[in-house]
A and B are shown apart, each in its own frame.
Chain A
Amino acid sequence: MSTTEPISASNPNSATTWLRRNLFRTWFDGVLTVVFGAIAIWLLYRTLNYVFVTGRWEIIRINLRLLLIGRFPETHVLRLAVLVVVLSGWAGVLAGIIRARQVRSGRADPDATKFSAARVRDLVERFWLPVTVTLLVLFLTSTPGPWVTAILAAVAAVVGRLIGPFIGRLRPGPLGSAVLGIAIAAVPIGLYFYVITAVGFDEWGGFMLNIFLALCAIVLCFPLGVLLALGRRSELPLIRVVSTAYIELARGAPLFVLLLLANVALGFFLPESLTPSTPARAIVVFTLFTAAYMAEIIRGGLQSVPRGQLEAAKAVGLSPVRQMGYIVMPQALRNVIPAQIGQLISLFKDTTLAGIAMGLFELLNVSESITAQDQFRGQGLIAETLTFAALMFWAVSYTMSRESQRLEKRLGVGTR
């Protein structure tokens, strides 16, 4: 009379058990499986068919340079290659230094980076997506330059990662630390000037511009967001009012309208001698807008830190700045990592608005305009170019969100 067979009778790991548990639990489940299985197969078929058969990817191959770096003058592309290679090396060194310091202070397992199967699996899991997308782009190129750059960048990153720990293990005095800090900060700033002195903002474009706008706004909005969050929680009424008003006004206005306003009307608010270039305007708007959201996220983090932490910090006689800087703020920031990274991802995606509102030649704008080229006009290739743009944005955003989950896990949010 029993209609349900005990599952334990069969091997719990066998494929049939898995199928029964996950796909055919009840008759209704079976119907769902069949219907959605058919939909999934159809979608997969359509996607594969589109990518390998019907998609006309020639337009991407021919316009790859426009899509990635816009109208960047050919004579100075070498500077970009140098930028990529040096920046990879720099990132490697930085990762190595951070790692060594974590090991020294006992916050990281020294054996975790030893070469082993688990380590390889971890690396593959982290980097398969960016590597695959980079390779895809490289295979679309027709010149050896990008290949050489990519290989050198990879080598630089690995070498930097190997050198980094030696620098990290040094125990420099206060002067040495300052020199080290300045040296680390000087590399990206120096590279920025290295590129900008040769090629002005107006000639930047493509996906590079999206990344650049986002990076600048991220770096600038963070300190402003921290200050605003502290201001909103301040005991001083006037400061609280000013911060709250700013945050609420900035969050109430649509970013798109702010960008339009900055494009059309910013000139009115500045003296004639001070009319910023369009990308600079975009960066200012992104920074001011995202800082308000950042402030709310960080305020949430500050509220999540138990009061006892602040009281303990006071009890051991730390100054107010140190109470905040050493005790409360680190915990607050750690507690809201996912929300912060989420905000940064949405900032990165919103850089496309600069193309629409201000006419900047960023990736989405390029994808739209290349379909109007003489050789491609009227062929309905917008689907292909949008797919490429979507893949680029998706790969970067998805990698960022996965790294944020990893960071969250490593910092032990919710477990300590």
Chain B
Amino acid sequence: MTTTRVPLWRDVRVLRWVLQLAIVAVVAAAIAWLYGNYTENASRLNIPTNFDFLDNPAAFEITGNPMSQNAPVRDALYQGFLNTLRVSVVAIIAATLLGTIIGIARLSQNWIVSRLAAVYVEAVRNIPLALFLIFGLLVVVLGVFPPITEAWDLAGIAVVSNRGIAVPWYDNGSGTILILAIAAGMIAWWGVAKWRNSVSDRTGEASRSGLWGGGVFVLIVGAVWISLGFGVTAPEIDGRQTVGGIRVDPSFFALFFALVIYTASHIAEIVRGSIQAVPKGQGEAAHAVALSGFQRMWHVVLPQAFRIAIPPIGNQYLNLTKNSSLGAAIGYYDLTLVAQTTVGNGSPAVPVFTLTMVIYITISLITSAIVNVANRRFTLVER
């Protein structure tokens, strides 16, 4: 008498592996088919599939970037990547500020303030970003801003004209050193704040970590600034152009404008939701210990709200960075437009776009890793 064994074709363990292998086989076959088509088409049309094009001369210039026409494609792509980061970082900071203010305003007890914020959010969220982009360039910059001869001179802070916006900027030094100094200052700020907090925990004296940390930051950056002879120049109108400071390109401004307006509406909704998710008792308790409205918001409600808001806001930062690729549509030389131009100048399309895609995906993965770390760090504090 043999023991009854489950036949192979009804054994769940076997079936599972068969199913998985079948699906993987289908996926692999699809990829192989696509890749086969690609190599076949490329060899038929005599198009290279390798990355040798990176060393060819780029044969175009990027406005506002120090790059000659003879520089290799590699350098052009690097400059494009830097431009993507530039606009993304600046827009992220501005969108966070504007979005937070509007999110709080939407919960204001003042009827007019909350209505205005609601109208802003509901109007902007439901209109495509591309529309704001074109609006920013064609209506705001080219329509509203005056020609250079009648530029608005905002008391040395900015010169606004349809050639772009000129703002004060540093001179006599390298930007890399300045960025390094700021980074060092921020690390010092963080360290000093931590030390002050531990002192406060041990002795009970007021920690004043912001004051100490900020002071150290200003000291470090200021020392670098003075010792290396950095200076500041303010923009001035000189005939048909501006001198001094730095001129922000119209395309940069339009992209910045669109990204900030659009992303702020999404961040505002996240901030509002997060504030509402903070238990009501927290605000009431702050009220009970006689904190003012501002103190209640700043010391009690917002810190808890931002803890909730970190993952979705991180998502918005990612979206903003990816949306900055739309700058290509209005002539801002970000990574995408550089890639497009490179392809137009004869580099093979598939490798160029593959590389572009890999860079974007890497930015995304790194950003989401940072957001995850931040999220884990801040949720640990929670009970």
Contacts and interface: CB of A to CB of B under 8 A. Distances in A.
B130 interface: yes
B112 A261 contact: no
Contact of B110 (A32, A252, A256, A401): A32
Given A39-B116, A254-B323, A398-B122, A349 B109 contact: no
B126 A397 contact: yes
A350 interface: yes
B349 A23 contact: no
Interface of B: 16, 19-21, 23-24, 27, 34-35, 37-38, 41-42, 47, 108-113, 115-116, 122-123, 125-131, 134-135, 138-139, 143, 322-323, 325-326, 328-329, 336, 339-340, 343, 349-350, 353, 356-357, 360-361, 364-365
A39 B113 CA distance: 10
Contacts of B360: 252-254, 257
Contact of A349 (B127, B135, B340): B127
Interface residues of A, number: 56
23 contacts: A23-B110, A252-B364, A256-B325, A257-B336, A257-B357, A257-B360, A260-B353, A265-B349, A265-B350, A272-B41, A353-B130, A355-B130, A364-B134, A382-B134, A382-B138, A386-B131, A386-B139, A393-B127, A393-B128, A394-B123, A394-B126, A397-B127, A401-B126
A32 B112 contact: yes
A256 B131 contact: no
The 8 closest A-B pairs by CB, nearest first: A252-B361, A397-B126, A252-B364, A254-B322, A22-B111, A349-B128, A238-B20, A254-B325
Nearest to A243: B23
Contacts of A239: 19-20, 23
Contacts of A368: 134, 138
B353 A389 contact: no
A169 to B, nearest CB: 38
A393 B138 CA distance: 19
B37 A256 contact: no
A373 B34 CA distance: 43
Contact of B326 (A23, A270, A353, A389): A353
A204 to B, nearest CB: 19
A268 B349 contact: yes
Q: Chain A interface mostly helix, strand, loop or mixed?
A: helix
A364 B110 contact: no
B93 to A, nearest CB: 20
A336 interface: no
Given A36-B116, A397-B126, A267 B323 contact: no
Contacts of A382: 134, 138-139, 143
A40 B38 CA distance: 58
A242 B361 CA distance: 17
A345 B111 CA distance: 28
Contact of B364 (A251, A256, A380): A251
A255 B329 CA distance: 13
Nearest to A400: B126
A256 B126 contact: no
A36 B113 contact: yes
Contact of B126 (A272, A345, A364, A383): A345
Interface in A247-277: 248-249, 251-258, 260-261, 264-265, 267-272
A44 to B, nearest CB: 10
Contacts of A349: 126-129
A267 B41 CA distance: 9
A390 B262 CA distance: 13
A239 B21 CA distance: 9
Given A22-B111, A352-B131, A356-B130, A269 B23 contact: no
A326 B372 CA distance: 34
Given A356-B329, A368-B134, A242 B24 contact: yes
Contacts of B42: 268
A398 B365 CA distance: 32
A29 interface: yes
B128 to A, nearest CB: 4
A37 interface: yes
Contacts of A261: 349, 353, 357
A268 B46 CA distance: 12
B37 A364 contact: no
A356 B365 contact: no
A40 B325 contact: no
A236 interface: yes
Contacts of B16: 236
B356 A257 contact: yes
Contact of B131 (A258, A264, A390): A390
A352 B126 CA distance: 13
A236 B109 CA distance: 52
Contact of B116 (A40, A253, A270): A40
Interface in A357-405: 357, 364, 368, 380, 382-383, 386, 389-390, 393-394, 397-398, 401
